[in-house]
Amino acid sequence: MNGPNTGGQGWFVCDPNRLAILELLRSGEKCACVLLEQLELKQSGLSYHMKILCESGIVASRQEGKWTHYRLSGEGRDRAMELLKQLTMPNAEQQGGSCTPESMAEAETSKAAAGVKVLGSGCAKCGALEAAVRSALEELGMGPAVDHVTDFSQIAAYGVMSTPALVVDGKVVSYGKVLNKDEAKAVIQKVGT
């Protein structure tokens, strides 16, 4: 499973407090004040765990006055289930995505292709990076052509261990963070010179 800089894909369940929060949210939306009453956490601890759960996409939030209300996200659950399915499916059952010599050779070949790619599992952070890159490319007059690579063997071929990552003309120019439009524009221009 990926680490904390990957939009929380998978690692969000690696803490007993987050598992307890998810269990409480199974019965419906809860205000942060209700969660605090039922958990042995201080406000700062709850905020920390909720940030991780929201960034992972498994929990959604909404503001009501000074309180934040949290609920489980069906979309986030579906992404988490798909990730778990990918991670636990035997290689013989996978359709692509396994690290065979053939798939790694194919991934190495695709690395050399010119263009702009976002590498990542498809989490919210990957989507945010892709949107920023598309906007930057449009401002640069290059069109919004961005490939989003989700295949783990292709991501591994770039040597990327922390997603989302940005690749321009085969070169990894950013990883483990979401660039805003201006940062993406600067990086793309730098590689082009």
pLDDT tens, position by position, 123-171: 888 889 989 989 888 888 887 688 888 887 778 777 877 889 898 888 8
Same domain, 47 and 114: no
User: Of 25, 186, 181, 64, nearest to 173 (Cα)?
Assistant: 186
Count of structural domains, the chain? 2
8 Å CB contact between 155 and 163: yes
Burial class (CB in 10 A: 0-12, 13-18, 19+), 79: buried
User: pLDDT tens digits, residue range 67-108?
Assistant: 899 999 988 888 878 877 777 777 554 454 455 666 666 656
**Over pLDDT 90: what percentage of the chain?**
24
For residue 146 the two structure tokens come to 């961005």
Same structural domain for residues 110 and 59? Answer: no
Kind of pairing, strands 165-168 and 116-119? antiparallel
Higher pLDDT, 38 or 76: 38
CA-to-CA distance for 71 and 53, rounded, in angstroms?
Answer: 10
Does the residue 94 lie in any domain? no
CA distance 94 to 84: 13
Q: Determine the structural domain holding residue 177 and report its residue range.
A: 102-192
pTM: 0.47
Residue 87, in any domain of the structure: no
| Of the candidates 38, 96, 34, the residue with the CA atom closest to the CA atom of residue 70 | 34
Residue 153 lies in a domain: yes
